[in-house]
Amino acid sequence: MDEKAYYYQILRDEWKQNKTNHDIRLTLEELQHLTSLNDRISLQDVEDIYLPILHIFDIYWKNHIDLHKKEQSFLKQTHRTIPFIIGVSGSVAVGKSTTARLLQTMLQQVYPEKTIDLTTTDGFLFPNEVLIERGILNRKGFPESYDMESLVAFLLAIKTSDQAVTAPMYSHEIYNIIPNETQSFQQPDILIVEGINVLQLPPNREIYVSDFFDWSLYVDAEADNIEKWFLERFELLMDRAKSQPDNYYYKYAIGARQDAIAMAKEVWRTINLKNLEEYILPTRSRADLIIHKASKHHIDYLQLKKY
């Protein structure tokens, strides 16, 4: 069935009419701090796109609270907060990290008394040493490169445990898991989980990452645009790494520029595009809300699931 049958497609001019009454105060400097390296987002985008998204979130959030109160009452359990988990997915370089950080910031302003945390699935990549040992370093980002057992266990603990829960951390500067460093979560009210794999359904599993989500978003764009953004980001990362010998991109920064860009194009074609087409894009129809970007990261329409 055509994916469009699952969604209401709403053009930007129509979407922006659905603003919430929440008072969001962001300066341009604050917004730039939230924006990924070569992503583009404006205060007008916050007004036109993200305030209506908060309106949709409020519906899911209130239903979540009501459902669990009634369920706990039925089971005669002491009331406890069940974390509301938001999944944010999309391709490499599409701007999903910006979306996740902006959502966290806006929700924290709307619900200042709530704990709103953010994590990425990058921390659940196997360390490079393991990927090398298994001969799949060139498959980094593909489903088999993630420790899905640990990611599912983490989300289960977030939903059910009264204790602090930790997650490993990843650095794009060293291109690897950071040894002996973790991120701690103490019963968040809302947790945003961002990653290319959050909506995937790996084979031979009884439970999936998305089973823990109460709401999910997919940041979408045409592959040609994402390739441009990926290459732009690669060049910016090289520029930043020129004086940082420990940075993963340093070896490219000090070499011939045209060779580095040729390598990045090959990485896009053989790894990132392949991963997008085979594993990421097929998960788009599992999202509750799709944010579509045209050239220059302009958000031109959104798709809201019909059911």
Please name the residue ranges forming H helices in the chain. Answer: 12-15, 28-34, 43-45, 51-74, 96-110, 128-133, 148-160, 223-241, 250-253, 257-267, 273-275
Instruction: Tell me: is residue 123 an annotated ligand-binding position.
Output: no
Instruction: Tell me: is residue 264 an annotated ligand-binding position.
Output: no
Please classify residue 191 by burial: count the beta carbons closer than 10 Å to its beta carbon, then call 0-12 exposed, 13-18 middle and 19+ buried.
buried
DSSP labels, 168-227: EEEETTTTEEEEEEEEEE-S-SEEEEE-TTTT---SS-SS-GGGG-SEEEEEEE-HHHHH
Instruction: Tell me: is residue 96 an annotated ligand-binding position.
Output: yes
Structure tokens at 288: 């509750």
Structure tokens at 21: 């009454």
Please classify residue 91 by burial: count the beta carbons closer than 10 Å to its beta carbon, then call 0-12 exposed, 13-18 middle and 19+ buried.
buried
Reported as half-sphere exposure (CB side, CA atoms, 13 A), residue 63 has a value of: 8
Instruction: Tell me: is residue 94 an annotated ligand-binding position.
Output: yes
Instruction: Tell me: is residue 198 an annotated ligand-binding position.
Output: no
Contact indicator for 279, 201 with CB cutoff of 8 Å: no
Residue 40: how many CB atoms within 10 A of its CB? 14
In angstroms, the CA 54 to CA 73 distance is: 28
Instruction: Tell me: is residue 97 an annotated ligand-binding position.
Output: yes
Which residue reads 């709401």 in tokens?
215
What is the pairing mode between strands 190-194 and 84-90?
parallel
Instruction: Tell me: is residue 5 an annotated ligand-binding position.
Output: no
H or E element: which one contains 304? strand 299-305
Instruction: Tell me: is residue 88 an annotated ligand-binding position.
Output: no
Binding residues: 90-97
User: What residue numbers does the annotated binding site for ATP cover?
Assistant: 90-97
